[in-house]
Structure 1
Amino acid sequence: MRDEAMAEQDSRLARAAREALEEGGALARNLEAFAPRPAQQALSVAIATAFESRGTPLGTLIAEAGTGTGKTFAYLVPALLSGVKTIVSTGTRALQDQLYHRDLPRVRDALGVGLKTALLKGRANYLCHYRMHQAKGEPRFASREIAAQFQRIVAWAGRTRMGDLAEVEGLGEDSPLIPVVTSTVDNCLGSECPFFSDCFVVQARQRAQSADLVVVNHHLLLADLALKQEGFGEILPGAQAFVVDEAHQLPDLASQFFGEALSARPLVELARDALAECKEVPGALAAVQEPARALEQATRALRAAMDDLPVRGTRARAAELAAAEDALEALAQALAALAAVLEPLRGASPGFEACTFRAGDYAARLRRWRDIAADEAPAQPPADPDDRMPPQVPDDADSVRWYELTARGFRLSRTPLDVAGPLAEHRERSKAAWVFTSATLAIGGQFGHYADKLGLAEPQTLLAPSPFDWQTQALCYLPRRMPDPGSRDYGTALVDAVRPVLEASGGRAFLLFASHRALREVAALLRGSECPWPLFVQGEAPRGLLLERFRASGNGVLLGAASFREGVDVAGDALSVVVIDKLPFAAPDDPVFEARLEAIRRNGGNPFRDEQLPQAVIALKQGAGRLIRSERDRGVLVLCDPRLLGRSYGKVFLESLPPLPRSRDVDDVRTFFGRECGFEAPAPRGADLF
């Protein structure tokens, strides 16, 4: 009888979701400018059905929702009406804040439901009282401006309720103060912290535990899954349903969290934290000072020794440089020396206990990366080890060891080549509904590539088309006579092909490049040819500032690389052209990508068909998605790569894009921008090519 009652209740969820989004429904009645969309209703019903079927094969859904579908409302409605505990994960903290502070309250109020909601971020977003206390009086601020900003944080700390550093005006995400006043999983003291009762991280988690719907981001979600795989505590509360928005990002991010890494910053912070702890323990400074400074010097010396290496490469490539190998050995010795000094002090304070564990943990990570057997086990973890245990690291046959250099730092990583297994195991244990949605998941209308990446066996799938009128709002232009993308004069040919488009549109364009080298070349060519439009070039200003200036210019041309393909929303007349220079195949210098291709080859697969092509299709769809963001937008997508028509695989790219009318004649572009009304697709010259 109970099962029948639940089935009846479940069937009502799909109907209720559809009715809420229909003409005359709760959202139409209570939200100004809300427009019912059939694709949105279909998506919401599919999500509701997955919620109803949680714990069964029908409870997993992959849904591509075209731009403008309104997927946020489509999943919030069933989540709020279902009554089941739901985790919604977004791609970035900015999207997380937008969802929680803008979209969620609007939908909740429109539906008239009183469910409790919570926003939960990673610990690096919350003020740590202990770390701030340790930083007071420390002469480590690089400038008076940084010191003044620190004092503003101290003043804010006395009045904030949430402790979210996003509340601090003028504190950028890349501020050097953030690691000073926040904790990490390595340096957090847990329940031993003298400020534990006032901990903002603990309070945020408590709010999440008692909420019906919790908004997180992928980094936090994956950190939790990696720790659950080890069986040590959990950051997120248990849930009956998970909605993963911007889900195309998940496979690559997951590989980071199911691997392990050691970078320069935590090593330097360990040395400085050990010195800071000496203030609380008389006599400790004499023992700790020299090995702590030696560790910091060894870290900087390793970065200097790696200067002659490529920016990224494999462990084997690093081993070819004798100076780097010597510096790695010196770093290992410095870590061992500091660990030996800290061991007798670990009982003197919780901070020294944490530093002792960190020294042992970092030494173990370094040994594994170097592939050197440990003569003895690493230091035992302190009491209350939640969040501090290293993730399970795959065997070398299933992982790749590699390095990456930054201006002043390095990162030594060990990354699994396949995360489908651990992700599938967690989903199976959760017995929850899982919904994966994004505007870019399908390849030629199929989801097999994405399902394989996440270990999804026979999931439910849905293609929810964009509601935009592509025949009148947009045009896809493929210039004629473009040379091979690898030719030396490709940049010049691209400028020649794009200039008449920019003249027709009056600028207002994104030029998106597959490489920074090509970006710089075209920027130089445009500047050297009396370009009449203001140019905004990635790398010459922060991304946010470039976008702000581009919008304000009214006729600017912005040149960007991969980071501008997604997460950039410029609606209206400010953006009317998107140019993509080449098909965005992954760079050959990515050691993880190359290792994946080799693994596919070893297992009898086709690396190009199974990995390179699908990845490039998704990247192209992301870039093309910048063009039309609303029902009122109009614009031209310019695809310059001649391989779209000259190679057999070009058809896969074209079939994965929205149904834009296509042309190879620049006069059609001029006509498009010359008409006041919508664009009527021309009879393309050379229609046989399509």
Structure 2
Amino acid sequence: MSASPADLLGADGPLARTLERFAPRESQQRMADAVGAAMGDGETLVVEAGTGVGKTFGYLVPALLHGGKVLLSTGTRNLQDQLYHKDLPLVRRALGVHARIALLKGRANYLCPHRLALAVAEGRQLEPRLRQPLAQVQAWAERTRSGDIAELQGLGEDAEIWPRVTSTTDNCLGTDCPEYDRCCVAQARRRAQEADVVVINHHLLMADLALREEGFAELLPSADAFVLDEAHQLPDVAGSFFGTTVSARQLVDLSRDCLAELVREAPDVPELRTRADALGDGVKAFRLVLGGGLERRAWEAVADRDEVQTGLEELETALRELAEGMEAVADRAKGLESCARRARDHLQRLQRFRDPPSDEVPWYETWTRTFALHLTPLDVASVFAQRRAACASAWVFTSATLSVDGRFDHFNRRMGLGRPRELLLDSPFDYANQARVYLPRPMPEPNAPGFTRAVVDTALPLIRANPGGTFLLFTSLRALREAAELLAQGLQDRELLVQGNGPRGLLLERFREAGNAVLLGSHSFWEGVDVRGDALSCVVIDRLPFAAPGDPVLEARMAAIRERGGNPFRDLQLPQAVIALKQGAGRLIRDSHDQGVLILCDPRIQTKSYGKIFMKSLPPMGRVSGPQEVIRFLQEGA
């Protein structure tokens, strides 16, 4: 096919002829040509495509035409499914091309027949609460072809049974597994190896790039081109995968798997079962010395406490003794050999955590019963650049929110991209007529005790007057819960939906159906939410989304910037907050027919000099100066 990607997306192109409601967009055509050129030249391209550009088709058309192997990486599994099951087949059919497509998720998304057999073999030793879910998995396992756990509608993706019947990098036996011929992960990878276009996600991509450095076999097939959608998420995802983690769950799983393998393969060595139990006991004891509650802190905050050091030493001793014991019987069976290797790997990670390199940040987090110890790189730029250089491929990074004040410097620097090709495409929507922004005054400072009440008092009459639905987006769960209590008292005639009171997807479904509901959300609702029409005509944001103070990784990165003579606020905190605000504000206008009001309650956007940077980074919405103008626009439009 000799036509350019832009031609194919034009008014006389195949997509306009075959797809209902397809509207040619000049910005989408520019993006498609730029992506195609970057793929053809093996170059790196960074594209910000504002809401309404149609960036998905803007990269799918050149990807399907490329002729080589293309990996499409998205931010979430939901977006993966959307691309693979809907968008790709639609565009492929319209173009009349025969490119083979495949979907590849992380191994935790696929049933492991071997671990299912182990769980079934536990019989009455299996926790009673897991027996019914296990029976559901067994019945589904008989009929599934892909083994993708998303198929089983009766169980949520966070169901407790899934870690028992799926594998991890740690516990997978690979080609030595007795069920390897039925391995769902291996089958998915084979399909990916044979495909022209493979849909993956950022977590899988980063996991693969990290494993390449460690010398293990690549999870992903080598590709001629990578397209990374929702690329604004990449710096944080990269940080988690290029670091090191030792968690209570990993160690408990190891203890449980050792016990299961010892009962089957080495029943004559009961002393090793005692060592496996000792590791489990050590995990519980160490969780207790870390203190109660939910915490996310720098390791130095507790490292000097005697009980913490003692607990860590005892945990290391238990892990070492288990590793040595499992190595003594490892030649009896592959399962025992795998457990021995895992124990040794965890021991090395724990020792690395106790004596971390200077360019990594040690920190920990606790939940009710578990914990995780992390080492996170201070800077992922150099690491990511090295991994990327090992793949002689074209790289396309795209999102609706990559620029700050019209520049890509912040993103390019964080990802170590050097000087890539760049393309900034504004939204084609008519924001001047479709949207208004309201900066209420006077408002107390965000740290003032009555700030959240002031936000609710400001929003409540506007919510009541709004014929459509309203989002209230918060930067903290504490503020969200306080606002929910206040709104429950003052809002009787609208359905009030609150994050945490149900699955995210169900809350959004109810919000769309209601037409005039009120939804309160924190971080997970600031992006990836698409509600069109009158069901969402007002978005209220409580404060500018600066990262929470005290975050251990952020604090360490700020200190490193200061040591280099930089300005942490200018170089890190402000750009990240601008990108986050653009994501939240982007929930408002999702269609060329949408109308709505964005309400920014943080007074700093008006009183601080950096407020101008936030405003310049938002779409060019009209300004309203008072609540009556807001109500008039919500009820009458432009």
1:540 aligns with: 501
Instruction: Confirm or deny: 8 A CA contact 2:470 2:519 kept in the other structure.
Output: yes
Match of 2:623 among 648, 662, 672: 662
1:383 aligns with: none
Match of 2:206 among 201, 222, 242: 222
Counterpart AA for 2:141: A
Counterpart AA for 1:456: L
Counterpart AA for 1:155: A
1:213 is displaced (CA, Å) by: 0.7
Query: 5 Å matches for 1:149-160?
Result: 149-160=133-144
C-alpha change, 1:640 and 1:171, in structure 2 (3 Å) is same
1:422 is displaced (CA, Å) by: 2.0
Query: 5 Å matches for 1:665-676?
Result: 665-675=626-636
Match of 1:315 among 275, 278, 299: 299
1:589 is displaced (CA, Å) by: 2.1
Moved more, 623-632 or 322-331: 322-331
Query: Deviations for 1:112-152, whole angstroms, at most 9, x for unmatched residues?
Result: 000111111111111111111111132454445x3222122
Q: Distance in 1 between matches of 2:38 and 2:221?
A: 20
Q: Distance in 2 between matches of 1:26 and 1:668?
A: 45
Match of 1:44 among 28, 32, 39: 32
- Partner SS state of residue 199, structure 2: strand
Q: Distance in 2 between matches of 1:344 and 1:428?
A: 41
1:365 aligns with: 349
2:18 aligns with: 30
1:378 aligns with: none
Counterpart AA for 2:420: P
C-alpha change, 1:516 and 1:195, in structure 2 (3 Å) is same
Q: Distance in 1 between matches of 2:492 and 2:440?
A: 20
Instruction: Confirm or deny: 8 A CA contact 1:504 1:669 kept in the other structure.
Output: no
1:424 is displaced (CA, Å) by: 1.3
Counterpart AA for 2:411: Y
C-alpha change, 1:329 and 1:568, in structure 2 (3 Å) is same
- Partner SS state of residue 511, structure 1: strand
Moved more, 558-567 or 303-312: 303-312
1:157 is displaced (CA, Å) by: 1.8
- Partner SS state of residue 426, structure 1: helix
Match of 1:333 among 317, 323, 333: 317
Q: Distance in 2 between matches of 1:652 and 1:82?
A: 38
Q: Distance in 2 between matches of 1:652 and 1:605?
A: 19
Q: Distance in 1 between matches of 2:170 and 2:158?
A: 20
1:515 aligns with: 476
Answering whether residue 475 of structure 2 is matched by residue 491 of structure 1, we say no
- Partner SS state of residue 346, structure 1: helix
C-alpha change, 1:370 and 1:152, in structure 2 (3 Å) is same
Query: 5 Å matches for 1:453-532?
Result: 453-506=414-467, 508-529=469-490, 531-532=492-493
Q: Distance in 1 between matches of 2:321 and 2:533?
A: 60
1:638 aligns with: 599
- Partner SS state of residue 616, structure 2: helix
Moved more, 104-113 or 511-520: 511-520
Match of 1:128 among 112, 123, 130: 112
Query: Deviations for 1:446-494, whole angstroms, at most 9, x for unmatched residues?
Result: 0000000111111111111112111221111111211211212212221
Calculate the aligned-residue CA RMSD, in Å. Answer: 1.6
Answering whether residue 305 of structure 2 is matched by residue 305 of structure 1, we say no
1:524 is displaced (CA, Å) by: 2.0
Q: Distance in 2 between matches of 1:118 and 1:594?
A: 41
Query: Deviations for 1:339-377, whole angstroms, at most 9, x for unmatched residues?
Result: 222121101110100110111111111112122xxxxxx
Query: 5 Å matches for 1:335-354?
Result: 335-354=319-338
- Partner SS state of residue 215, structure 1: strand
Instruction: Confirm or deny: 8 A CA contact 1:275 1:285 kept in the other structure.
Output: no
Answering whether residue 527 of structure 2 is matched by residue 572 of structure 1, we say no
Match of 1:413 among 374, 396, 399: 374
Q: Distance in 1 between matches of 2:292 and 2:372?
A: 16
1:161 is displaced (CA, Å) by: 1.8
Match of 1:436 among 356, 374, 397: 397
Answering whether residue 244 of structure 2 is matched by residue 283 of structure 1, we say no
1:331 is displaced (CA, Å) by: 1.1
Instruction: Confirm or deny: 8 A CA contact 1:302 1:331 kept in the other structure.
Output: yes
Instruction: Confirm or deny: 8 A CA contact 2:468 2:534 kept in the other structure.
Output: no
- Partner SS state of residue 67, structure 1: coil
Counterpart AA for 2:593: R
Q: Distance in 1 between matches of 2:207 and 2:487?
A: 44
Instruction: Confirm or deny: 8 A CA contact 2:475 2:545 kept in the other structure.
Output: yes
1:663 is displaced (CA, Å) by: 1.7
C-alpha change, 1:284 and 1:406, in structure 2 (3 Å) is farther
1:551 is displaced (CA, Å) by: 2.5
Q: Distance in 2 between matches of 1:323 and 1:554?
A: 55
Moved more, 31-40 or 418-427: 418-427
Match of 2:575 among 614, 632, 635: 614
Instruction: Confirm or deny: 8 A CA contact 1:507 1:557 kept in the other structure.
Output: no
- Partner SS state of residue 32, structure 1: coil
2:41 aligns with: 53
Counterpart AA for 1:466: S
- Partner SS state of residue 373, structure 2: strand
1:100 is displaced (CA, Å) by: 0.3
2:611 aligns with: 650
- Partner SS state of residue 390, structure 2: helix
Answering whether residue 18 of structure 2 is matched by residue 18 of structure 1, we say no
2:584 aligns with: 623
C-alpha change, 1:557 and 1:427, in structure 2 (3 Å) is same
Query: 5 Å matches for 1:67-216?
Result: 67-138=51-122, 139=124, 141-143=126-128, 146-216=130-200
Q: Distance in 2 between matches of 1:217 and 1:155?
A: 28
Instruction: Confirm or deny: 8 A CA contact 1:229 1:422 kept in the other structure.
Output: no
Q: Distance in 2 between matches of 1:240 and 1:424?
A: 17
Instruction: Confirm or deny: 8 A CA contact 2:108 2:163 kept in the other structure.
Output: yes
Query: Deviations for 1:507-542, whole angstroms, at most 9, x for unmatched residues?
Result: 611111111121122222222335442222222333
Counterpart AA for 1:215: V
- Partner SS state of residue 533, structure 2: coil
For structure 2, the residue ranges without an aligned partner over 5 or more in a row are none
2:386 aligns with: 425
Q: Distance in 1 between matches of 2:268 and 2:31?
A: 62
Match of 2:409 among 448, 457, 476: 448
Instruction: Confirm or deny: 8 A CA contact 1:508 1:575 kept in the other structure.
Output: yes
Counterpart AA for 1:119: L
1:237 aligns with: 221
- Partner SS state of residue 487, structure 1: coil
1:294 is displaced (CA, Å) by: 1.3
Work out the percentage of aligned pairs sharing the same amino acid: 54
1:398 is displaced (CA, Å) by: 1.1
Query: Deviations for 1:203-229, whole angstroms, at most 9, x for unmatched residues?
Result: 111111111111100011111111122
1:375 aligns with: none
Query: Deviations for 1:210-255, whole angstroms, at most 9, x for unmatched residues?
Result: 1111110001111111112233221111111100000000011001
Instruction: Confirm or deny: 8 A CA contact 2:149 2:157 kept in the other structure.
Output: no
Instruction: Confirm or deny: 8 A CA contact 1:420 1:455 kept in the other structure.
Output: yes
Q: Distance in 2 between matches of 1:599 and 1:284?
A: 54
Q: Distance in 1 between matches of 2:532 and 2:301?
A: 45
